[in-house]
């Protein structure tokens, strides 16, 4: 059931007439096996009434929990054998009406491959302090991981949850200073920063952007409609129009330049949504037309326009920096050295926010005028200041104080927090990668930066000599030998075993969440999680079945699962009986 993503219940509760016995999917599968000639099952249930559940809901839950635990334990055993790991959480998801945090773990397996695996869900708590305690308890006590070996933590969450997960990160850092708080390689820095901005207008705008993207990806016909509008608007720039069409067919909301794309596409989006809503040929059903009307109203709101224009301009200072962080290993290394310049630019913006905001607001008003959108303040503000509103100057001042200033201030602070001194020192250790060494003319100083990982090394006293040999090896290589350009390539070198300290350092560096998983084969956990959530209705989701579905290819010992069940539920009342949960057929 887990492998094929079959929900336990085959019917909605309100679909079944009261008193009528309807077998669930688990029972249907058992009956199918019996009808296929499974003698053991036939003998076990041949005397059971036809209106009886073979396995009660409680027993199903118990078996699922054991299956989930055994499957998870296979991955956790590999993590423990590897010693070092990092923890990553994805965005909060709805599992049967309750909010959960998906948890993934990164580690290097015995074959020297960096893997990112899904290991379960954590029930979400509104109180950040309680969430931090439960998160720590689940990882250490329930899952048995030693947080002393945790070398990185990253949290991909939407705006409403960002501040709470930051508290979780802080609490873990207090206990485990080497569990560096980092960005996650699967999330563009600019989108991560935007999601963390504690301004309601930004949260609303981000939600609207996701809804618009999802709307057009509902069907090829909707994307074609948008393509046609883009073709008309970009008649004089067909190459750019073609590029924008290709972008629209992708999940463009996760791009580094998402806000630049949005501002450029806004006119096309408004015209297309308005056209779908007001179509007289009745090509669209009522639901599509209704959604188009709602989304058109949302993107035609002046508050939305000012928000995306401000985000576009503020995040333009971090775009190249963020793009390099998701680039090659050498790009990540050199990006670490450019953070100071990025912060200097943003601080200069903050010092001259009056001037910068004036330009941003003018851009927003020009865009609104182009789209025939009325420039106005949010209704809540207008109602609170009735009779006290002045002209454009009031609007400009309002958005400066409520949007531009807090956004710039927050992004500056967030960059300082996420790129701590420890984080930057770790990234500087990437000069261990031979291709980076080559770009630095083999004049590197890894030993100084690697001091933070000294306790992780097998032979710390020989580190200096080993690093010298490592540099000499690559500096005087043969002409036909290429320098390994990634940690993945370096870890798979035949002679890496002769450099135990270098191997240990590379192993720790590559599990940092900011480093991308080089081989996509080992990043299945996140992809399968997204697929499960996309393909499963909210009320049919199960945290147990989700783990079985996502980790369907992990080896498992069925006998161990059975033995575990018997040991935990040995009383006769808890073991299956012939008279479990009978429902009289009326």
Q: 460 and 325 share a domain?
A: no
**Domain span at residue 280?**
195-419
* Per-residue exposure over 82-116, b if at least 16 CB sit within 10 Å of its own CB, e if not: bbbbbbbbbebbebeeeebbbbbbbbbeeebbbbb
Q: 437 and 375 share a domain?
A: no
pLDDT given for residue 2 in this prediction: 58
d(CA 285, CA 10): 29
- The verdict on residue 113 lying in a domain is no
Q: 249 and 354 share a domain?
A: yes
Q: 279 and 407 share a domain?
A: yes
Q: What is the mean pLDDT of each run of 10 residues along the chain (586 residues)?
A: 62 50 63 68 62 67 83 93 95 89 94 92 92 96 95 86 90 95 92 92 93 94 95 93 94 92 96 90 88 95 96 97 93 94 97 96 95 78 54 74 96 95 93 92 79 91 92 89 93 93 95 87 83 85 86 79 76 48 40
Could you tell me if 90 and 185 are in contact, meaning their C-beta atoms sit under 8 angstroms apart?
A: no
User: What's the whole-model pTM score?
Assistant: 0.84
Q: 238 and 366 share a domain?
A: yes
- The verdict on residue 202 lying in a domain is yes
Q: 272 and 218 share a domain?
A: yes
The tokens describing 302, both together, are 């002046």
- The verdict on residue 205 lying in a domain is yes
Q: 402 and 499 share a domain?
A: no
- The verdict on residue 129 lying in a domain is no
User: Which of these three, 399, 419, 439, is where a domain ends?
Assistant: 419
Domain count, the chain: 2
Specify the long-range contacts of residues 146-149, CB closer than 8 Å, at least 24 apart.
146/80, 147/172, 147/175, 147/176, 147/179, 148/176, 149/83, 149/84, 149/85
User: Which of these three, 450, 480, 510, is where a domain ends?
Assistant: 510
pLDDT given for residue 509 in this prediction: 95
- The verdict on residue 88 lying in a domain is no
- The verdict on residue 461 lying in a domain is yes
- The verdict on residue 359 lying in a domain is yes
User: Which of these three, 358, 387, 419, is where a domain ends?
Assistant: 419
pLDDT given for residue 375 in this prediction: 82
Residues 6+ apart with CB under 8 A from 430: 329, 330, 332, 333, 336, 436, 487, 509
Q: 403 and 441 share a domain?
A: no
């Amino acid at each position: 059931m887990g492998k094929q993503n079959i929900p336990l219940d085959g019917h909605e509760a309100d679909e079944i007439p009261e008193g009528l016995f309807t077998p669930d999917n688990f029972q249907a599968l058992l009956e199918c096996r019996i009808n296929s000639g499974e003698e053991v099952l036939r003998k076990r249930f041949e005397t059971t009434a036809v209106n009886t559940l073979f396995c009660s809901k409680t027993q199903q839950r118990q078996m699922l929990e054991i299956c989930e635990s055994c499957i998870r334990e296979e991955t956790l055993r590999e993590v423990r054998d590897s010693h070092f790991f990092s923890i990553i959480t994805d965005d909060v998801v709805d599992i049967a009406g309750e909010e959960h945090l998906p948890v993934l773990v990164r580690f290097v397996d015995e074959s020297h491959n960096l893997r990112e695996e899904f290991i379960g869900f954590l029930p979400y708590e509104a109180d950040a302090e309680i969430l931090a305690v439960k998160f720590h308890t689940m990882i250490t006590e329930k899952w048995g991981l030693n947080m002393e070996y945790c070398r990185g933590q990253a949290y991909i969450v939407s705006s409403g949850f960002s501040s709470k997960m930051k508290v979780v990160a802080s609490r873990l850092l207090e206990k485990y200073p080497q569990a560096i708080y980092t960005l996650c390689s699967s999330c563009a820095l600019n989108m991560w920063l935007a999601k963390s901005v504690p301004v309601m207008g930004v949260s609303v705008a981000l939600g609207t952007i996701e809804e618009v993207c999802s709307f057009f990806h509902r069907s090829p016909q909707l994307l074609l409609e948008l393509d046609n509008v883009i073709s008309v608007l970009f008649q004089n720039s067909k190459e750019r129009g073609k590029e924008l069409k290709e972008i629209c067919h992708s999940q463009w909301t996760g791009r580094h330049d998402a806000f630049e794309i949005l501002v450029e596409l806004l006119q096309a989006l408004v015209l297309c949504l308005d056209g779908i809503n007001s179509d007289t040929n009745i090509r669209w059903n009522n639901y599509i037309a209704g959604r188009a009307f709602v989304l058109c109203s949302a993107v035609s709101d002046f508050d939305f326009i000012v928000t995306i224009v401000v985000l576009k301009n503020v995040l333009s200072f971090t775009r190249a920096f963020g793009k390099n962080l998701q680039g090659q290993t050498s790009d990540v290394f050199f990006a670490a050295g450019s953070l100071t310049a990025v912060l200097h630019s943003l601080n200069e913006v903050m010092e001259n926010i009056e001037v910068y905001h004036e330009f941003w607001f003018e851009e927003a008003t020009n865009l609104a005028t182009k789209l025939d959108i009325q420039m106005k303040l949010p209704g809540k503000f207008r109602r609170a200041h009735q009779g006290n509103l002045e002209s454009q100057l009031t609007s400009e001042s309002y958005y400066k104080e409520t949007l531009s200033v807090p956004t710039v201030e927050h992004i500056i602070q967030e960059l300082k927090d996420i790129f701590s001194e420890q984080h930057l020192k770790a990234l500087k250790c990437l000069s261990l990668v031979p291709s980076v060494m080559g770009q630095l003319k083999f004049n590197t100083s890894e030993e100084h930066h690697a001091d933070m990982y000294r306790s992780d090394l097998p032979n710390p006293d020989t580190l200096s000599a080993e690093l010298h040999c490592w540099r000499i090896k690559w500096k005087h290589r043969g002409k036909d030998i290429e320098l390994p350009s990634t940690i993945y390539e370096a870890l798979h070198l035949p002679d890496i075993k002769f450099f135990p300290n270098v191997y240990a350092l590379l192993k720790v560096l590559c599990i940092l969440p900011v480093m991308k998983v080089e081989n996509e084969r080992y990043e299945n956990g996140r992809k399968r999680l997204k697929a499960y959530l996309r393909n499963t209705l909210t009320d049919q989701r199960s945290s147990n079945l989700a783990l079985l579905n996502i980790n369907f290819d992990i080896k498992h010992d069925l006998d161990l699962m059975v033995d575990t069940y018997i040991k935990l539920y040995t009383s006769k009342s808890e073991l299956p009986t012939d008279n479990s949960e009978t429902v009289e057929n009326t």
